[in-house]
Amino acid sequence: MSSSKQRVILVTGANKGIGFEVIKKLLEESSSSSNNLILLGSRDLKRGQDALLQLGSPSNVHVLQLDTSSEESIARATDEIKQKYGGQLDVLINNAAIASWNDTAETARDIFATNYYGIKIVNKYLFPLIRENGRVVNVSSGVGAWALHDMTDEIQKKYKSETLTEEEIDGLVKDFISAIATKTIDKIMPNTKLLGLCYSGSKTALTALTRVQARRWSGAKNVLVVSVCPGYCSTDLNNHGPGSRPPALGADSILYVVNTPKADLENGEFYQDGKKLPQSSACTMDLSTHKQHAEDKA
C-alpha cells in the first residue's frame, strides 16, 4: 500500500485531542492524498473508526488499534504494519498518554505504564521498521522539566548525566513510584508545589529516555529522536483546564519537529513551538487556579 515516495506516519493516541489535530494538519499540508500514508493509532477501535469518519474517511488514513500500555497490543499492531502497510515507517509520533491529579500507587503504575514504559516498548518494536532518515517524536511536556527542577540535586545530576542509560532511568522511575506508594515523595521532590506528580514524573523520564535513545540510535539509519512539548492545550487529558490553548497549536508544535529539516534540529533535544527547551526549568505557571479546577472536577 505504500510507495517509496510516501511518508508513512504513525500517530498514537490519535482518536481525539492533539493527536487528532496532528492528523488533520497532516492531511491539510498534503498537496495530494498520496503524500502521506497515515496510521491513526487508537486504543479503542470504535473510537478510532469514529475519528476516521470525523476526518471524512480519507483514503490515505487507516485506523490501527494500539494500546500503548499493552505489549501484546503493540506486538499485534507491529504485525499489522508489516502485513498491510509495507512494514516500514518514516515517522513515529508517540502521542498517547494518560494523566491524573491523583498521586496514589495505582495511579503511578498506570501513568508510567503508558507514558514511559509503553513508549519504551513501542520504540523497541517499531524502531526496526523506521526507514533511513526517519524520525521518532516522543510527545513529552514542560511539566517534566519543572518536576526535574524540583528534584534533589543528586537525582537531577543522574537525569542530566551524558552517560545515562535506559536501565538507570528505569531505576529512577522505580524509586519514584515507590516513593509515591510509601508517601515519601518529599525525599525525591522536597518542597515541590507541582500538581499531578505522577504525570510530571513520567514526562521527566520520557524526556530523559529520548536523549538516551537518540544517542544509542544516532548511528543507525540516521534516525532523529526528539521530544516535544505541545504546550498546555485544552484536551480531555487536563479536563480543558483554565488558560489552555487550542489543541491545534499543540499539533503545530509537534509538526515542527516532524517537518523541519534535520540539519536545523538537534538529536535528542526537547522542543516547544520551534524552540529548544532545557531539560530542567522552574515552573512558570500560576498553579492556584489549576488546583481549584482539579478539585472542582474531582
Side-chain-side CA neighbours of 20 within 13 Å: the count stands at 20
Distance between CA atoms of 240 and 222, rounded to whole angstroms? 38
In contact, 236 and 250? CB cutoff 8 Å: no
Side-chain-side CA neighbours of 65 within 13 Å: the count stands at 9
CA 3 to chain centre: 27
In contact, 39 and 64? CB cutoff 8 Å: yes
Q: Which whole-number Å values give the CA distances from 153 to 69, 145, 190, 196, 200, in the listed order?
A: 31, 14, 11, 21, 17
Can 85 be counted among the known catalytic residues? no
Cell 542530566 -> residue: 160
Q: How many CB atoms lie within 10 A of CB 163?
A: 7
Per annotation, catalytic residue among 159, 199, 232, 271: 199
User: What pairs with residue 138 in β-bridges?
Assistant: 94, 227
Side-chain-side CA neighbours of 85 within 13 Å: the count stands at 25
Q: Would you list the DSSP string of 53-76?
A: HHTT--TTEEEEE--TT-HHHHHH
DSSP state of 126: H
Q: Annotated active-site positions, please?
A: 199
